[in-house]
Structure 1
Amino acid sequence: MAATKKVLLAVAVAAFAAFIGYKFLKLKEILLASREVPVKHLSCHYLQNIEYGAEDITVLKDGLAFLSTGLKFPGLPSFSDEPGKMYVLDLLHPKPTPVELQIKGGLDLSSFNPHGISAYTDEADDSVYLFVVNHPQHSSQVEIFRYVEKDTLIHLKTIKHPLLYSVNDIVAVGVESFYATNDRYFHNDALQFLVVIMDLALCDVVFYSPHEVRVVASGMRAPNGINISPDKRYIYVSDIIDHEIDVYERQEGERLVYNKSVAVGSLCDNIEVDHKTGDVWLGCHPNAMKLTNYDPEDPPGSEVLRIKNIHSQQPAVTLEYADNGRVLMASTVAAPYEGKLLIGSVFHKALYCLLK
């Protein structure tokens, strides 16, 4: 009997070891650990003043671009102890240069840690509101600002809610309302790692307004970037470790109904949408293993993808920019504007490019 128990125990241990080994192989697949990105450059130069990343960038129809910089994110490199900052850039200027935005109001700037951003223009009076995901002490909250003059943000409101527990990105749909992605289920890194290797889809998208807060889409593995179509009918979500862009249709009551997924073959971060063509632009991590195991001798690369005709039967996914990390490390966002392109990163620099 004792011998039988030992055999069974040995079999169980071997089976468990095989299972864990399989899951680690799957994790390497998720992170695209063996992928080497082909280099494809544009006519680009570094943006002045941006030295520690521009994790998210969004552009208004008039060419004003907003940048969130200096993100400190658990598990990823950070090369500055200073608080994060916001910048504005005029893409209609002959030599666009980021200008630091002065933040006025009651916000604690010493712990400001900006992540995803979204801009909303109120059609009633053309006021511009900037929504910023903020992680002071690695918590999650959303700040709402009003953009005034040329270089000033007025802090209006801080939003906290139990459903907004791990916010990555937002898209504003009103002066106080937005959709937000929760990119992880557990704050504990060990538990979250188990969620990833067990392939559990526990994350969600939340709709927030002053009148209600609720989950409007669920069953996602790691929703990251989020944005909206020019006609406001569709919401796009990057499920980053699924290597897909999910398309949802907005319906009455701000419900989201799943429409389709578009495979992109990369770990795509933030989403920007060309306001004229509707093309979807993605800042992506071609090999996330190099990002999580940062080595300056073998840096994480950058990749920009574009999806044309995303609502058609055959959306076209094209590679627009790629680098092996020698020019730009860890791209997170690609924001187009009338033949120009801004590319941001987690912790490195940002590029201003001309599209062919």
Structure 2
Amino acid sequence: MKKILVAAVVAAVAAFIGHRFLKLKGIALASREVPVKHLNCHYLKHIEYGAEDITILRDGLAFLSTGLKFPGLPSFSDEPGKMYVMDLLHPKPTPVELQIKGDLDLNSFNPHGISTYTDEADDSVYLFVVNHPQQKSQVEIFHLVQENTLVHLKTITHPLLHSVDDIVAVGVESFYATNYKSFDNDALNTLAVFLGFPWCDVVYYSPKEVRVAANGFLSANGINISPEKRFIYVSDIMGHLIDVYERKEGEQLVHLKAVAVGSLCDNIDVDHKTGDVWLGCHPNGMKLSMYNPEDPPGSEIIRIKNIHSDQPVVSQEYVDDGHVLMASTVAAPYEGKLLIGTVFHKALICDLK
């Protein structure tokens, strides 16, 4: 009887493990293939090792974080990460490396998600950058003092900001940030992922208060804000969802809805005129995590129109099989142009007109 019981337990555990592996393959969209759909695009100069995140000011000034080194993903350069800026109103927009001044170790600079905040009092522009020196998580705040110069003001660390992916600034020193892992401990996080526990969260930070603002994500990734600053959008990359929250008094977030996108969507950008939500996505997560140059990870750009309506319109705007662009992470629109960035590859500027 004892042997039968042990055998039954072993069989049940094996069945559960097998079921979880199949579930994880499904989450990774491991068997997904998508037909190519291109736009009129060309590569951006000087961007050879990824532009993981891109954000654009209303005057057309675009910021790009480049050279990210992320655990489990390829990196084709040993150089530290860099920040670039480009003027999209210029007849021939070209990225220019930003000069960084102040007390920051540039040798270990490893920029990830970024966001800008413009102080209405004096139109000062602040750039917030998620930084992973030695694979730690911290947030750097910079002041843009000239079109090509950043002055480092502050480094922010906190136990709740343990695995920050992306950030959206809502004040000179305040922001929402996503944690892509449930735990800082890798073993515990791997177990949480394997078991499918939705324990990732969004953290609100200000000098006076730090707290979890939203939770229940399999993996919280991109985050951004609507043009009128009323709504916050969060990408649950493993859930294939974009969650919509309303900002309330005291920076409380109220969940309104989740929009299915059918892909592993990374960063979020928002058209400042139309409010359309643009997503840089990974059509097949297995190809991304098991990088093979002979069968490279593809790129997929998704747009959501009327996200607050009862029937949001989700559409594919650009798709590539990885032979033009690998591992897209962000799609930032501006006045008929679209910038597409990647984890570790090149970046594109496309014409939407």
Following superposition, the deviation at residue 150 of structure 1 comes to: 2.0
Q: Deviations over 1:193-241 (max 9, x none)?
A: 2211211011111111111111111121111000000111100000000
Following superposition, the deviation at residue 6 of structure 1 comes to: 1.2
* Alpha-carbon distance in structure 2 between the residues aligned to 1:294 and 1:237: 26
- The answer for the alignment partner of 1:178 in structure 2 is 175
**Corresponding residue SS for 2:250:** helix
Following superposition, the deviation at residue 41 of structure 1 comes to: 0.3
* Alpha-carbon distance in structure 1 between the residues aligned to 2:8 and 2:209: 52
One of 204, 226, 229 as aligned partner of 1:207: 204
Contact 2:84–2:95 (CA<8 Å) still a contact in 1?
Answer: yes
Deviates more, 1:190-199 or 1:247-256: 190-199
- The answer for the alignment partner of 2:112 in structure 1 is 115
One of 36, 39, 44 as aligned partner of 1:39: 36
Contact 1:26–1:197 (CA<8 Å) still a contact in 2?
Answer: no
- The answer for the alignment partner of 1:228 in structure 2 is 225
One of 21, 27, 32 as aligned partner of 2:18: 21
* Alpha-carbon distance in structure 2 between the residues aligned to 1:152 and 1:114: 16
Instruction: Map 1:136-175; keep pairs closer than 5 Å.
Output: 136-175=133-172
* Alpha-carbon distance in structure 2 between the residues aligned to 1:272 and 1:11: 50
* Alpha-carbon distance in structure 2 between the residues aligned to 1:189 and 1:164: 15
Residue 48 of structure 2 is aligned to residue 51 of structure 1: yes
* Alpha-carbon distance in structure 1 between the residues aligned to 2:331 and 2:11: 46
Residue 59 of structure 2 is aligned to residue 70 of structure 1: no
**Corresponding residue SS for 1:193:** helix
Amino acid at match of 1:128: V
* Alpha-carbon distance in structure 1 between the residues aligned to 2:290 and 2:272: 36
* Count of aligned pairs: 353
One of 83, 87, 95 as aligned partner of 1:86: 83
**Corresponding residue SS for 1:253:** coil
**Corresponding residue SS for 1:187:** coil
Q: Percent identity?
A: 78
Deviates more, 1:257-266 or 1:206-215: 206-215
Instruction: Map 1:237-248; keep pairs closer than 5 Å.
Output: 237-248=234-245
**Corresponding residue SS for 1:165:** coil
Q: Deviations over 1:95-154 (max 9, x none)?
A: 111000000000000100000000111111111100000000001100000112121000
* Alpha-carbon distance in structure 1 between the residues aligned to 2:18 and 2:195: 12
Amino acid at match of 2:39: L
* Alpha-carbon distance in structure 2 between the residues aligned to 1:42 and 1:63: 21
- The answer for the alignment partner of 1:312 in structure 2 is 309
TM-score (norm 2): 0.99
One of 313, 329, 333 as aligned partner of 2:330: 333
- The answer for the alignment partner of 2:261 in structure 1 is 264
One of 306, 329, 348 as aligned partner of 1:351: 348
**Corresponding residue SS for 2:350:** strand
TM-score (norm 1): 0.98
Following superposition, the deviation at residue 188 of structure 1 comes to: 3.8
**Corresponding residue SS for 1:181:** strand
Q: Which runs of 5+ in 1 are unaligned?
A: none
* Alpha-carbon distance in structure 1 between the residues aligned to 2:79 and 2:12: 48
Following superposition, the deviation at residue 181 of structure 1 comes to: 0.5
* Alpha-carbon distance in structure 1 between the residues aligned to 2:320 and 2:190: 28
Amino acid at match of 1:242: G
Q: Deviations over 1:268-324 (max 9, x none)?
A: 000000000000000000000000000000000000000000000000001000000
**Corresponding residue SS for 1:62:** coil
* Alpha-carbon distance in structure 1 between the residues aligned to 2:70 and 2:18: 28
* Alpha-carbon distance in structure 2 between the residues aligned to 1:58 and 1:117: 7
Following superposition, the deviation at residue 14 of structure 1 comes to: 1.0
Contact 1:31–1:241 (CA<8 Å) still a contact in 2?
Answer: yes
Residue 122 of structure 2 is aligned to residue 125 of structure 1: yes
Q: RMSD in angstroms over aligned alpha carbons?
A: 0.8
Following superposition, the deviation at residue 186 of structure 1 comes to: 2.4
* Alpha-carbon distance in structure 1 between the residues aligned to 2:183 and 2:212: 17
Following superposition, the deviation at residue 189 of structure 1 comes to: 3.5
Contact 2:162–2:183 (CA<8 Å) still a contact in 1?
Answer: no
Contact 2:53–2:113 (CA<8 Å) still a contact in 1?
Answer: yes
Residue 189 of structure 2 is aligned to residue 192 of structure 1: yes
Residue 316 of structure 2 is aligned to residue 323 of structure 1: no
* Alpha-carbon distance in structure 2 between the residues aligned to 1:214 and 1:193: 24
Q: Deviations over 1:50-83 (max 9, x none)?
A: 0000000000000000000000011111111110
* Alpha-carbon distance in structure 2 between the residues aligned to 1:149 and 1:74: 34
* Alpha-carbon distance in structure 1 between the residues aligned to 2:118 and 2:249: 22
Contact 1:201–1:220 (CA<8 Å) still a contact in 2?
Answer: yes
Contact 1:182–1:205 (CA<8 Å) still a contact in 2?
Answer: yes
Q: Which runs of 5+ in 2 are unaligned?
A: none
